[in-house]
Structure 1
């Protein structure tokens, strides 16, 4: 009897692009039960910024994994090679930048369809900021300048996503207003420092690298308000280094 792969994705409020401790990236790799997972960074939202790509390789070359990158602004793979490359990955890690531009470029190259196929095959999808927004049905974004609802996404996670919630000015109040007025469906608000894992569409783990950061469920309330529920987050702690052995 064929085993149906679990469909999993992770929303990140940090990682190699913002943090030096590597706790969230290590947590992502811990979700993949293979010795050296293949990790593909997709920096489309930043226009394939070279410095962003170098930062990814600098962070992941030293880990027990096989890092790679998908560049779409200087595409080198034909359709068959692109499909083979993406479907061979254990983790696909989308970077931050413009959510709207990223989705448009993905669709122009057919990457949106390949990401769905990878997801169905059990590849872990994850990302920060725009790279978290893209997996949901809708999101809150500054792709157009002012913060605004974006009723568009890949729809692999039901509802909406808001990054930088409570971490950057205006995101919390603006997202709550969008949910309250039904401009966005109920969803998940991710503070910087948090990671949230969804398996089969359900929240199965939530972690934080700082004691004060949280994941929130935000839903429409009565009389135009919202209901905000803080989720329990497991605190990530750096592994202790073994003490050096004294020589006498």
Structure 2
């Protein structure tokens, strides 16, 4: 029986107890480090802690459905996701793929086919990471961003929670998207054009007024003194940036 590097972490999000037990047993037998959970909300918590390198995802989950889990996972993680679902309707498959799934396998499936797709997904992810490291400097993804210690700025990507000065801050969806773009690239200046295209879309690449307005709103909500920003800083005439996180491991 072929084995793999035991450092490879796989998260199984599966509602059916028999399928969950089967997946755990088969993956562990092949050397994977595996965790399993049946609930979508719990899966978000576990993903943030476990940092899986691949996710096997059922769509029919209690508390938080699989598509919602996928959408929230994709806000901070690029780990490949293989959907394992009894739904074979084309609209469901398209929705899952549009939300960031890498593959879709309809139940029932053979173990050999699943293992083959796992190998392909991991190989593709490794190649993508290698390319990113060589070309883009390999920006690490984290489940959260913290700057300024316990009383500073915290962005918890996994749970969509933002805190500043120890208090939770409520942001609009656009404010949150803008803050996420900046904190995901902490320590690097993002140009006005880059931020506008990533948050608002390509049609807004020249709408600098949008950007200035939302940065002003964010500073009012997040900065102890908005006139002397600690977190949302600007490079005059270029763009905006946030400081690097307090530590590399959050």
With the shorter chain as reference, the TM-score category is 0.3 to 0.5
Structure that is richer in helix per residue: 2
Tell me the TM-score normalized by structure 2.
0.32
Find the structure with the greater CA-based Rg.
Answer: 2
Tell me the TM-score normalized by structure 1.
0.33
